[in-house]
Chains A and B, each alone.
Chain A
């Protein structure tokens, strides 16, 4: 727990993962060392790459020929949640972060109302894409580490520092199938961090399976001098068009606006209504006569 860490309270780990490194095979020990991070107390040096989670690693499928055998893992009989559209951009009034809310697992919509944008602290919001469980856990770990930093050093870690910390924490899992692509949206900066090791600062980022469609809409209308309402409408439009064309994005759109005063969340909006409004505006409802008749009757 956080208090224990600050007081350097050394406690015996009450639950250890079964020590699989019984054999003298060198590849096994390299493999388990990379993943065997202690939960509390034992490690005296607190490197930035320490991850406060113990991972159970299967050694059943060890092939001595394969060296960096991070990719050797048990074949999973189920799909994990993936697929999304998230975007963020900077303009004169701060930073806008927007995302859809669909979590798909294979062909099934696992959840139509996921929160893909999470606040880390009052001036930092992170949009997540990739595998749902990975993003959720790594955001929790990041929030924990940021809070610990703040308590230890009496100041908040900068956004660049946060991004670097996250990147270093994810580095041991490069090559495994941890799939995390987060965009850290501060009030004046946007940084994209990914589990492949990328850490990029930029003015506009869109991540996920629906990102090409979102980029198309954003590149057309984005400029520095947009006012707040225009920026919000633009972000909403980009997510809406992406959800329309991408099968793995959909349902609602979440929008956050981050300024020097902090973040503000806009009400979650169902895109179904937007779709019908848009079709009506463009006069495209007429392609199906009885449907138009029904709609106009209301």
Chain B
């Protein structure tokens, strides 16, 4: 399992292999974590939100599955994207679903995106000393119908953003999004607000780039577009190597 060279210990941040050289006898302990790769991305627009993820599930040098999307539909107006350790992703989504049902039965209304974000923060922090190894991003519509994106760190720190990338290729995608959606680091550019079609095209292009350079991202792209009409899903193939 996770004991020898392919264990999580040999991976530095975001699953990149550390340098291999003989440093003397080392002790290998059982690590309860594994890194399953995957990238998640969310963009908020004026009246829509997009949550996209690749569908590759990997571990070390192997691919477990090419069809394991990381977007989970929580309510009609909220989608959660989680990447990192797949076991923790599954448990976390189960817990969130249960809490959503409890809220619905106690309060007779569905949870809003902001409330789900606050709840997820406390769920993650309750495991402060044995964290869920999951990078979460929530995308949805807020009470006014505007797009909202909430990004989390693995122990529950969160904030509302306009766009965010998480997961293995996040360090590559985030600067690209800063430039294209946030118009950062460019002089003399007109700040055009993002339309839904343009945003979807941008997300597709961005994932194609990520699949080129990140080994843990690829196979297919699942896009969930949240509007007041509902949640539309699209599947786009990516490179499979």
* A residues at B contact (CB < 8 Å): 14-15, 17, 35, 53-58, 60, 73-81, 103, 105-106, 108, 110-111, 113-115, 131-137, 176, 178
Contact = CB atoms under 8 A, between A and B. Distances in A.
Contact of B159 (A14, A105, A115): A115
B48 interface: no
B35 interface: yes
Contacts of A137: 121-122, 125, 156-157
The 8 closest A-B pairs by CB, nearest first: A133-B157, A132-B157, A133-B155, A58-B130, A133-B156, A137-B125, A136-B157, A74-B130
A78 B156 contact: no
**Chain B, interface residues (CB within 8 Å), range:** 35 or more
B8 interface: yes
Nearest to A103: B157
Interface in B180-218: none
Contacts, number: 91
A53 B13 contact: no
A74 B32 contact: yes
B194 to A, nearest CB: 18
A108 B8 CA distance: 20
B153 interface: yes
Contacts of B31: 75, 77
Contacts of A103: 157
B32 A55 contact: no
Contact of B128 (A15, A17, A78, A133): A133
Contacts of B128: 55, 133-134, 178
Contact of B125 (A73, A78, A133): A133
Interface in B153-181: 153-159, 161, 171
B11 A56 contact: no
Contact of A78 (B29, B122, B154, B159): B154
A77 B35 contact: yes
Contacts of A131: 155, 157
A137 B128 CA distance: 11
Given A76-B131, A77-B33, A137-B121, A105 B126 contact: no
A81 B32 contact: no
A283 B127 CA distance: 52
Contacts of A132: 153, 157
Nearest to A54: B126
Contacts of A136: 121, 156-158
Contacts of B133: 76-78
Contacts of A15: 98-99
A136 B121 CA distance: 9
Interface string B122-150: 10111111110100000000000000000
A136 B155 CA distance: 11
B63 interface: no
